């Protein structure tokens, strides 16, 4: 059964906040606002915590089985232009997700994948069994076709793609790593590309 282990942070407790200011790929999360540590809205199942050089990160508060839906994120704003805190959901639409989804850090070896949802953003799904206390990380290239805001990935994973974080450059490896867990508009693009290639 699918279990939702993490709910969106609904308020920030001032006495338990940290200021997080940083750029997207210098080890930072996608926010420069104050965020709560171990916010009570998650009931201890999904915690936003200090993450060393990354600033903050989202961690599993319990053991999570593979293919469990961990979090349903919601779009809180949208634009036709991307910025370093947005995620791409279609060719001409970029959205800001609510917390804690917007605080999940990137890795080229993600343990969490995404799929489109009815809230205008993405569901986050475990790609493997995840231990309690393990950081949840996803691959920004699974939603960003042309990640112009990202000059160099510093995730530090053995298979880090460096300056080729975007889907356009790395779609073959991203599809191989994550199966169907990437943005629907990119699914449609790869299908169209495959159809065109077969016709040639």
pLDDT in tens, 145-180: 987 666 778 888 998 988 788 899 899 999 999 999
Residue 130: CA count within 13 A, CB half-sphere: 29
pLDDT tens-digit series, residues 85-138 = 899 999 999 999 999 999 999 999 999 999 999 999 999 999 999 999 999 999
**Alpha-helical runs (H) found in the chain:** 167-178, 184-199
Q: Is pLDDT of 56 > 70?
A: yes
pTM across the whole model:
0.77
Q: Of the spans 20-34, 50-64, 178-192, which averages the highest pLDDT?
A: 178-192
Angle between helical axes of 167-178 and 184-199 (0-180°, round to 10):
100
- The CA distance from 160 to 152, in Å, is 10
Contact 115, 180 (CB under 8 A): yes
pLDDT tens-digit series, residues 57-80: 999 999 999 999 999 999 999 999
Dihedral of CA 163/169/172/176: which sign? positive
* pLDDT the model gives residue 50: 80
Q: What is the pLDDT of residue 156?
A: 87
Per-residue confidence band for 32, with pLDDT thresholds at 50, 70 and 90: very low
Is the confidence at residue 35, as pLDDT, over 80? no
Residues 6+ apart with CB under 8 A from 186: 142, 143, 145, 167, 171
Residue 17 bridge partners (DSSP): 36
Residue with tokens 């691959």: 139
Q: What share of the chain is helix, strand, coil (3-state, %, to 5)?
A: 20, 25, 50
pLDDT at 45: 65
> What domains can you pick out in the chain, each with its CATH number?
14-199 (2.170.270.10)
Higher pLDDT among residues 41 and 83, named by residue: 83
- DSSP annotation of 35 reads E
């Amino acid at each position: 059964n699918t279990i939702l282990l993490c709910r969106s942070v609904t308020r920030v407790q001032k006495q338990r906040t940290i200021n997080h200011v940083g750029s997207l790929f210098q080890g930072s999360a996608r926010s420069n606002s104050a965020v709560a540590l171990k916010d009570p809205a998650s009931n201890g199942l999904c915690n936003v915590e200090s993450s060393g050089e990354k600033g903050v990160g989202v961690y599993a508060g319990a053991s999570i089985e593979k293919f469990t839906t961990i979090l349903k994120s919601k779009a809180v704003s949208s634009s036709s232009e991307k910025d370093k805190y947005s995620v791409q959901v279609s060719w001409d639409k970029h959205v800001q997700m609510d917390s804690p989804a917007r605080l999940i850090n990137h890795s080229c070896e993600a343990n969490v994948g995404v799929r489109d949802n009815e809230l205008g953003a993405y569901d986050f799904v475990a790609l493997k069994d995840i231990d309690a206390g393990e950081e949840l990380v996803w691959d920004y290239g699974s939603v960003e076709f042309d990640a112009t805001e990202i000059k160099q990935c510093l995730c530090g994973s053995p298979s880090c793609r460096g300056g080729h974080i975007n889907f356009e450059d790395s779609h073959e490896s991203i599809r191989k790593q994550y199966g169907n867990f990437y943005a629907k508009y990119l699914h449609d693009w790869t299908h169209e590309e495959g159809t065109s290639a077969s016709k040639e």
